[in-house]
Structure 1
Amino acid sequence: MSRERPALTPLTPRATDIVSAARALVEDEGREALTMRVLAGRLGIRAPSLYKHFPDKAALEAALIERSLAELGEVLHAALAEPEPVAAVLRRYRESAVASPNMYRLATAGPLARERLAPGLEDWSGEPFFLATGDPYRAQALWSFAHGMVILEIDGRFPGGSDLDRTWAEGARAFS
């Protein structure tokens, strides 16, 4: 049985607005575009004003990652109620990542300051892989398959004419 989602780090209403603007910036232009100066410009304020809400860029990124992991976790936990949970978790994971590739990269690529995330959130968001397979090693293998497939798909690295739906279906069959 899945656990309740851990509480996210609380944000003030203004910090929530800043996170929303930062997310839009990342989704539009990628992680590299996220600077305090560019974000402040989008918000119509000066960059030093952002530091009243976030001590540094890493804290802002942690808030973005927290919310991204929470959203993904909600989607994946809901997938467990479907008749074929492995296939459903993979399908929902793919849909979420492909719909927001730049946020996906922010949340899953590069260093992760786990100490800045809500305790237990990372484990909770990945828990559906375990609940779908019943084994921690199969769960890691399933997540690795999903992550690799998503990155290759986002980057357009599959050969032209590849039937990715079939590849995903074969992956689901292999782990079911």
Structure 2
Amino acid sequence: MTQPSALPHPPALPRVAARPDPQERTPRVREVVAAAARVLEAEGQEALTMQRLGSELGIRAPSLYKHVAGKAAVEGLLVTDTFFALGDLGHRAVERPGRSGPVAALLRAYRRFALERPHTYRLASRPGVREHVQPGVEMWTGEVFWRAMGEPYLAQALWAFAHGTATLEIDGRFLPGSDLDRTWRAGARAFAGQRSRTG
């Protein structure tokens, strides 16, 4: 007679912080942010200028300042949206991880976002941009790593692995021929093992 198997991975911890309410935006601000997102992902951070946004929207660049304070404010809105997107993906991943467990599910979601939107991802990690980000959203997004690991320093280490590995992969910094799927799986196993020992 076979014994019932235990869950292979400890479940994620429950949420602590509620999802912040996105700040209200006028229709024109939403248009500016949507145009900025298109330019950023198609052409990179260097192309994201007020003049380029004005051209994308068919208006003169000075008119944009009636709606947004400048390029830094536009970048803050983009990064705010990035944190909301990453947070939603991460929280869903740890809540419905499937057989692989919350750590592996979180890393898969994080990697997929970073690789699908590399310029947006890199903008979100650039120094100085956070002062223009909606308060509270970055902390809510980061909470998902604590939910996956159950211990704050392990959560920081997991985030450092995810961010560092994603950045190196985007930049093509791994050795030619590296099996990066295997690299990510190895990281997931290592952190899930730590979670099992502390859970």
Q: Which blocks of at least 5 consecutive residues in structure 1 are unaligned?
A: none
> C-alpha distance in 2, partners of 1:155/1:147?
12
The one-character-per-residue Cα deviations of 1:100-131 (angstroms, maximum 9, x if unpaired) are: 000000111232333x3222100111111110
CA–CA separation in structure 2 for the residues paired with 1:148 and 1:119? 24
1:19-58 alignment, distance < 5 Å: 19-58=33-72
- Taking the aligned partners of 1:64 and 1:112, their CA distance within structure 2 comes to 10
User: Which segments of 5 or more consecutive residues in structure 2 lack a partner in the other structure?
Assistant: 1-13, 193-199
- Normalising by the residue count of structure 1, what TM-score does the alignment of the two structures yield? 0.96
SS at match of 2:146: helix
- 1: CA distance, partners of 2:126 / 2:60: 29
Give the one of 120, 132, 143 matched to 1:127: 143
- CA offsets 1:131-167 (integer angstroms, 9 cap, x no match): 0000111111101001111111111111111111111
In structure 2, give the amino acid aligned to 1:64: L
Q: Which residue of 1 aligns with 2:80?
A: 66
Given the alignment of the two structures, is residue 96 of structure 1 paired with residue 113 of structure 2, yes or no?
yes
Contact kept? 2:75, 2:129, Cα under 8 Å: no
Residue identity opposite 2:18 in structure 1: E
CA contact (8 A) 1:65 1:106 kept: yes
Q: Which residue of 2 aligns with 1:140?
A: 156
Paired residue secondary structure (2:129): coil
Asked whether the equivalents of residues 72 and 129 of structure 2 are also in contact (C-alpha less than 8 Å), the reply is no
Q: What is residue 158 of structure 1 aligned with on the other side?
A: 174
- State the structure with more CA Rg: 2
82, 85, 102: which is aligned to 1:85?
A: 102
Mapped contact 1:77–1:128 kept (Cα < 8 A): yes
Q: Please give the TM-score of this superposition, normalised by the length of structure 2.
A: 0.85
% identical aligned pairs = 52
Number of residue equivalences = 175
- What is the identity, as a one-letter code, of the residue corresponding to 1:150? A
**Aligned residues of 2:87 and 2:142 also touching (Cα < 8 A):** yes
CA distance in 2, matches of 1:135, 1:58: 34
